[in-house]
């Protein structure tokens, strides 16, 4: 187990040795700070958690895009650099190497989440703590809602990045993986309309309807009358399927680059 952590440390070293990673994390911090400042300058009369929710809805989209960029390079990058050969001749099974990359991807998504939440909440609190729009008892539940929103967004990030990870492994092309993943991210609401679960019974099994779990924060019923447990099962099922496809392709492939 200790040795497996060293594999993850390697993947982290490769991610954080590149300047672009720090640019992405820096942008996350910058926008998490800038949004509350802008709202403050417009003189909006809002409470802390409303400001943070607005900020988060923008910065989290950015975080998902950055996680997609990182995920797209994890496997495809090794192939395009040619370093895959020296990586795979080590005394490690390919499955473990792939898994270490996936863990590193999750860690990056988590780090982005921590940065944007921390900077967002602190800057919102500094600028808007005076505004107690609602009663003090309400404050607690607003905070809980905001935290739940971050959690559901993190789940969405993991699902989208898992798709990217699979595409990166299967096609060995990071640009294709980024392109397709972002296409899915931005058109998934359109799919929701096309495959309306109110009309077609099977449509409730479409993954893209379930990636955003935040509907369940205020309502016990999701798209097409599904439950939270059903949505989680769909997300888990698809993610495991995507990981299995990645694993199968990665372990069976002949390396000819």
Partner 1 sequence: MQEPLVRLMGVTKKISSRVIVDNLTFDIPQGQVFGFLGPNGAGKTTTIRMMVGLMSITEGDITIGGWSIRHHYEQAAAQIGAIVENPEMYKFMSGYKNLIHYARMMPGITEERITEVVNLVGLGNRIHDKVQTYSLGMRQRLGVAQALLHRPRLLILDEPTNGLDPQGIRELRDYLRKLAQEEGTTVFVSSHLLSEMELMCDTVGIISQGKLVDVRALRNAHGEPEAEDTAFIVSDPARAAEVLQSADPTVQGSSVVVRGTPDMVAEMNARLVSAGVNVYGIMPVTRSLEDQFLEVTGGEAIE
Nearer to partner 1, 50 or 72 (CB): 72
Q: To the nearest whole angstrom, how small is the minimum distance from the Cβ of residue 236 to partner 1?
A: 30
What b/e sequence results for 175-206 when a residue is b if at least 16 CB atoms lie within 10 Å of its CB, and e otherwise? eebbebbbebbeebeeebeebebeeeeebbbb
Contact status: 103 vs partner 1 (CB under 8 A): no
Residue 200 near partner 1 by CB under 8 A: no
The end-to-end CA distance of the chain, in Å, is 31
What CA–CA distance (Å, rounded) separates 206 from 196?
Answer: 10
Whole-number Cα distances in Å, 122 to 49, 60, 114, 142, 188: 11, 16, 12, 16, 32
- Answer for which of 23, 38, 86, 144 binds partner 1 (CB under 8 A) is 86
DSSP 3-state percent helix, strand, coil across the chain (nearest 5): 80, 0, 20
In the bound complex, what is the minimum distance in angstroms from residue 21's beta carbon to partner 1? Answer: 10
Angle formed by the axes of helices 19-41 and 94-128, to 10°? 20
In whole angstroms, the minimum distance from the beta carbon of 59 to partner 1 comes to: 26
Tell me how far, at minimum, the Cβ of 80 lies from partner 1, in Å. 10
- Does 23 interact with partner 1 (rule: CB under 8 A)? no
DSSP notation for 96-142:
HHHHHHHHHHHHHHHHHHHHHHHHHHHHHHHHHTT---S-HHHHHHH
Q: C-beta of 250: minimal distance to partner 1 in Å?
A: 13
Residue range at the interface with partner 1 (CB under 8 A); choices 11-19, 62-70, 142-150, 154-162: 11-19
Size of the site for partner 1 (CB under 8 A): 24
Stretch of 14-22, 142-150, 167-175, 218-226 contacting partner 1, by CB under 8 A? 14-22
List 91, 130, 137, 220, residue binding partner 1 (CB under 8 A): 91
Q: Which stretch binds partner 1 (CB under 8 A): 55-63, 86-94, 164-172, 234-242?
A: 86-94
Q: Which residues bind partner 1 (CB under 8 A)?
A: 3, 6-7, 9-10, 13-14, 17-18, 81-83, 85-86, 88-93, 252, 254-256
């Amino acid at each position: 187990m200790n040795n497996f952590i060293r594999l993850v440390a390697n993947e982290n070293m490769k991610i954080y040795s590149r300047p672009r990673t720090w640019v992405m994390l820096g942008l996350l911090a910058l926008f998490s700070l800038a949004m509350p400042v802008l709202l403050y300058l417009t003189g909006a009369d809002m409470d802390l958690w409303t400001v943070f929710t607005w900020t988060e809805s923008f910065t989290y989209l950015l975080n998902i895009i950055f996680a997609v960029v990182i995920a797209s390079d994890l496997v495809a990058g090794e192939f395009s650099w040619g370093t895959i050969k020296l990586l795979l001749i080590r005394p490690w099974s390919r499955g473990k190497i792939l898994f270490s990359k996936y863990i590193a991807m999750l860690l990056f998504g988590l780090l982005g989440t921590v940065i944007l939440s921390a900077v967002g909440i602190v800057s919102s609190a500094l600028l808007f703590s005076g505004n107690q729009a609602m009663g003090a008892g309400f404050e607690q539940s607003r905070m809980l809602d905001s935290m739940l929103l971050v959690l559901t967004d993190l789940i969405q990030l993991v699902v989208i990045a898992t798709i990217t990870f699979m595409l990166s492994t299967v096609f060995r092309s990071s640009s294709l993986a980024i392109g397709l993943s972002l296409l899915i991210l931005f058109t998934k609401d359109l799919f929701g309309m096309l495959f309306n679960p109110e009309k077609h019974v099977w449509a409730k099994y479409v993954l893209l309807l379930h990636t955003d779990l935040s509907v369940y924060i205020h309502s016990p019923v999701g798209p097409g009358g599904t439950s939270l447990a059903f949505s989680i099962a769909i997300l888990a099922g698809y993610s495991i399927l995507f990981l299995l496809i990645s694993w199968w392709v990665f372990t069976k492939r002949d390396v000819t680059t």
